[in-house]
Structure formats: C-alpha cells, structure tokens
Amino acid sequence: MSNEVKSIGIIGLGSMGMGAAKSCINAGLDVYGIDLNEAALATLSDAGAKAVSTNALDFSQQLDAVLVLVVNAKQVNTVLFKTGLAASLKPKTVVMVSATISADDAKQIEQQLNSYDLIMLDAPVSGGAAKAATGDMTIMASGSAEAFSKLKPVLDATAAKVYNIGEQIGLGATVKIIHQLLAGVHIAVGAEAMALAARANIPLDLMYDVVTNAAGNSWMFENRMKHVVDGDYSPKSMVDIFVKDLNLVADTAKDLQFPLQLSSTALNMFISASNAGHGQEDDSAVIKVFDGITLPGVEK
C-alpha cells in the first residue's frame, strides 16, 4: 500500500479535470489543483482540495503523482517542462498524461520525464464531463506495471473502466486516436442526419426521439444532437477539438499508409465549421455547415 499515491496534483481544471479532481477528493486523496482560471481554482478549493494555485511549483514537493488533463501536446510540454515542474518533482513521481496526443508526442514526453527520473502513464480518457463528475470515465492506458500500481487509487477514483493496453508508451494514445475517429464521425454523421431531417421539415425533437429509440442511435448522437434540438451550442467539447483530434487521426493513418475516407470527410466538415466562425462552439455546431435549413435557436 505504501507504493500507492496519496497526494496528486491535477493540472487542467476544465470539465474533465474538475470532475477527476473532485472524484479524487471524494476518494480521500490529497488533491492539489492547478489551472490559470481563478474561478476553477475557487470551485475546487470549495470542494475540499488541499491547495490550489496557478503555479504547480508551489507544492511540487508534496506530490506523489501528477495528472495532466490539458488539450494538446504543446500544453503538456508547457505545463511539465517549460514551467520547470518536472525538474522540481521528487524522483519516481508518476505522471499520468491524459491529453489526446499522438503516439510520437507521448514517447517524446516519456523521454523527457525519464531524464528527471519520473514515471509516465500514457492514459487518455473518455466519457465526457458527466462521467468525469461521477468518477466513471473510461481510461485507455499504457505504461509500466509500476505506473499502474502507483496510480491505482487515482484510477479507481476516476474511472469505471481502465484498459491496460500494454507497457509501451504511445499505445494508449493510439487507442484514443482510433476512438476519436469514431467519435468525430458519429458527430458529423449525426449532424448530417439531423440536417436532412430539417430540410425535410421533420421536427428535430421528433427525429431525435425516433433515432434514440431505434437502431441508428449512438452515444454521440444521443448526447450531441440533443444540443442541436435545444439550440444550445455552449461548448462542452469544441469544434476545434475535433479539428485537432481528426488531424491526429489523419496523421496516424498517414504514418501507417492507411486510407480513411469517412474520417477525412468528417475532418473537412469540422474545418469548414471552424472557418465559418464556429470553432469555439460545441462540436455539435458542425451542423451549421449545412445551408438551406433552419435550426432551433439559430438565427439566419
């Protein structure tokens, strides 16, 4: 038991990071929150965090583990290395990297962490804000047995399902990228179906009800097309996130010399939505690339 972490620093208190942090607090772990958003820090402090700060160096020596839940590889490198955090952590501290990044980026981050005698778990997450809030995320992770063992209290607190993909760093990242292929295509095709329904003058709430009670449903359709029905594009996950993630899919396919027709089309849809000014809206706003339809809550 002494091998397991007790105190964890969570970097990135967005919808996923906040849920993970609160789940760790509920599990009895000592949680230190790091984010640039003062409101998020205040929320986590009120929830029972040991300490919060915009600078992880304030308590780096108290940490047994670090969970990084930021957007991309550039942000991971910034928070771990450009800030000096990695250099200030105790040797053998385990770093759980849960951003959606390429396998090559994951390997490069591991090499840098190794130079500081730190241990990495390549551990992308899925499930959205709701499952993060209840400690029911899905984690697809790769890394050493030591990393899994040390992080067991964190994994138990934050996830309903943890998949051990293997020891090699980069495998977790690759599984997440393949998952994002499906997620992005499901959102795009859901938007296409709802746009066609709008064109046919079928009420979108009716269409949504039919699909969610029939064989054409998917988790992404049920979750994201509800935003379309409600006319609410406040971002839970943004269009630009899928521009990034589907580009990672495309890069992975290019490296493997493997054709991906559907995800390529979905990527172009998200790029079009972003170029039209919807990049910071909820990813369901990809439906706005379709002309000649009227959507709930959207002014023409």
- In DSSP notation, 14-79 reads SHHHHHHHHHHHHTT-EEEEE-S-HHHHHHHHHTT-SEEES-GGGGGGG-SEEEE--SSHHHHHII
Q: Is 176 a catalytic residue?
A: yes
Q: What local confidence, expressed as pLDDT, does residue 129 receive?
A: 85
Catalytic residue among 22, 131, 150, 176: 176
According to DSSP, residue 259 is labeled -
Question: Is residue 88 classed exposed, middle or buried when 0-12, 13-18 and 19+ CB atoms within 10 A define those classes?
Answer: middle
The domains located in the chain, with CATH, are: 7-168 (3.40.50.720), 175-289 (1.10.1040.10)
Tell me the pLDDT of the chain (300 aa) as tens digits.
458 899 999 999 998 999 999 999 999 999 999 999 999 999 999 999 999 999 999 999 999 999 999 999 999 999 999 999 999 999 999 999 999 999 999 999 999 999 999 999 999 999 988 899 999 999 999 999 999 999 999 999 999 999 999 999 999 999 999 999 999 999 999 999 999 999 999 999 999 999 999 999 999 999 999 999 999 999 988 999 999 999 999 999 999 999 999 999 999 999 999 999 999 999 999 999 999 999 998 875
- DSSP type of residue 282: B
Rounded to whole angstroms, the Cα distance separating 155 from 167 reads 16
Task: Please give the model's pTM, rounded to 2 decimal places.
Answer: 0.94
Number of Cβ within 10 Å of residue 167's Cβ equals 12
